[in-house]
């Protein structure tokens, strides 16, 4: 099974702040860094570092060398990334002294994959392969529909949440990978057990991973539920913790690892990611995960 990740590729401008800026407030940042990021790029790198063969599909701008280099260095296949005129998508990220973040994403029109891009990508994949997507890239529902028509398995991380995503063809999704905010957006529920109950009812063919930060993670697959506690760690920067979890979990299950083992490895990998600065840079290798586990 080949996995293609239809995902965002961003330049992250990260500002270290005392607290997340309030409406009307001006805040001095203590530090500023430029990192490679994007939920898509982070998840591809996490999958590759966890040992999966992963193809990335997306768009970068004229300033995208650093992003392509990061993907290439992690051994992600970048054949399906189109180079477009203009600046790559970027983010403004604040990280506070507890390691919590808030993120604004901007991608110009040139960075939007077209229907022709989607058709070109899908031409290289066959029934039985899988497409991973987040909700950060233009034309996500179109990719979902076309991939499902072609018989690809759909793995969806509904992040960031949008109102429009409720009208996506979500019945085609095989795996939902979400946190409690995304779970609430899809179900209207806040309690983790209720989120799983409603998802099971709405999407009987979909399996679920529900991450709860320091409160652990649940997986639900064909009527079975599994719980994984979080590993305790001093958080430095939580950016890409969820992406790391997603990549390690998917790499695990796609290699035939039992769900409880894949959950444990993903939780451990993401605990390492939150102890480091940056997005893609914070993702550990499989060796680091297995040595420290
Ligand atoms: O999930 C973290 C990522 O979200 C960051 O790298 C940023 O680019 C945004 O896409």
Q: Which residues share a beta bridge with 226?
A: 219
Active site residue 96: no
What stretches of 14-97 show up as alpha helix (H) in DSSP?
A: 39-49, 65-73
For residue 253, pLDDT over 70 is answered with: yes
Q: How confident is the model at residue 292 (pLDDT cuts 50, 70, 90)?
A: low
CB-CB contact of 12 with 90 (8 Å): yes
Measured in Å, residue 39 CA sits from the centre of ligand 1 at: 5
Pocket test for ligand 1, best of 46, 60, 90, 103 (most atoms within 8 A of CB): 103
Count of residues for the chain?
293
Pocket test for ligand 1, best of 9, 36, 46, 93 (most atoms within 8 A of CB): 93
- Counting residues of the chain whose pLDDT is more than 70, the rounded percentage is 99
Pick from 89, 80, 181: nearest CA to 131: 80
Q: If you count DSSP H runs as helices and E runs as strands, how many of each does the chain have, helices first?
A: 9, 13
Task: For residue 37, give both structure tokens.
Answer: 């990021």
Q: How confident is the model at residue 272 (pLDDT cuts 50, 70, 90)?
A: very high
Number of Cβ within a 10 Å radius of residue 192: 18
Q: How confident is the model at residue 290 (pLDDT cuts 50, 70, 90)?
A: confident
DSSP sequence for 125-174: --BTBEEEEESSSTTHHHHHHHHHHTT-EEEEE--S--SGGGGS-GGGEE
Three-state SS for 251?
helix
pLDDT score at 93 = 97
Cis previous bond, 160, omega within 30? yes
- Counting residues of the chain whose pLDDT is more than 90, the rounded percentage is 96
Average pLDDT, the chain: 96
Q: How confident is the model at residue 35 (pLDDT cuts 50, 70, 90)?
A: very high
Cα(first)–Cα(last) distance of the chain, in Å?
A: 28
Ligand 1 atom with least separation from CA of 40 = 10
Q: Are strands 207-211 and 217-221 parallel, antiparallel or unpaired?
A: antiparallel
For residue 1, pLDDT over 80 is answered with: yes
- The answer, as to whether pTM is greater than 0.85, is yes
| 79-134 confidence digits (pLDDT tens) | 999 999 999 999 999 999 999 999 999 998 989 999 999 999 999 999 999 999 99
For residue 293, pLDDT over 80 is answered with: no
What residue's CA is closest to ligand 1, atom 6? 37
For the Cβ of 88 lying below 6 angstroms from any atom of ligand 1, the answer is no
For the Cβ of 38 lying below 6 angstroms from any atom of ligand 1, the answer is yes
Q: Structural domains in the chain? A: 3-292 (3.40.1190.20)
| 136-174 confidence digits (pLDDT tens) | 999 999 999 999 999 999 999 999 999 999 999 999 999
């Amino acid at each position: 099974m080949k996995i293609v990740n239809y995902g965002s590729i961003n330049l992250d401008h990260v500002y270290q702040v005392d607290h997340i800026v309030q409406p009307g407030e001006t805040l001095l940042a203590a530090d500023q860094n430029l990192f490679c990021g994007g939920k898509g790029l982070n998840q591809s790198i996490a999958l590759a570092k966890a040992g999966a063969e992963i193809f990335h599909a997306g768009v970068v701008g004229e300033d995208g060398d650093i992003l392509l280099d990061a993907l290439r260095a992690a051994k992600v296949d970048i054949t399906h990334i189109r180079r477009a005129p203009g600046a790559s998508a970027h983010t403004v990220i604040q990280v506070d002294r507890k390691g919590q973040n808030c993120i604004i994403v901007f991608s110009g029109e040139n960075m939007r994959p077209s229907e022709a891009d989607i058709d070109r990508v899908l031409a290289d994949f066959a029934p039985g392969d899988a497409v991973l997507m987040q909700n950060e890239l233009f034309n996500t529902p179109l990719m979902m529909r076309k991939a499902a028509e072609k018989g690809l398995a759909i793995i969806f991380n509904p992040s960031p949440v949008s109102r429009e995503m409720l009208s996506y063809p979500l019945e085609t999704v095989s795996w939902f990978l979400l946190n409690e905010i995304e779970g609430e957006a899809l179900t209207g529920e806040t309690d983790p057990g209720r989120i799983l109950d409603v998802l099971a009812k709405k999407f009987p063919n979909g399996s679920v991973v529900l991450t709860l930060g320091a409160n652990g993670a649940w997986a639900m697959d064909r009527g079975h539920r599994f719980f994984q506690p979080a590993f305790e760690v001093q958080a430095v920067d939580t950016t890409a913790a969820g992406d790391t979890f997603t990549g390690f979990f998917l790499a695990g299950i796609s290699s035939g690892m039992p769900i409880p083992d894949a959950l444990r490895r993903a939780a451990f990998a993401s605990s390492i990611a939150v102890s480091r600065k940056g997005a893609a840079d914070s993702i550990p290798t499989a060796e680091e995960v297995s040595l420290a586990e």
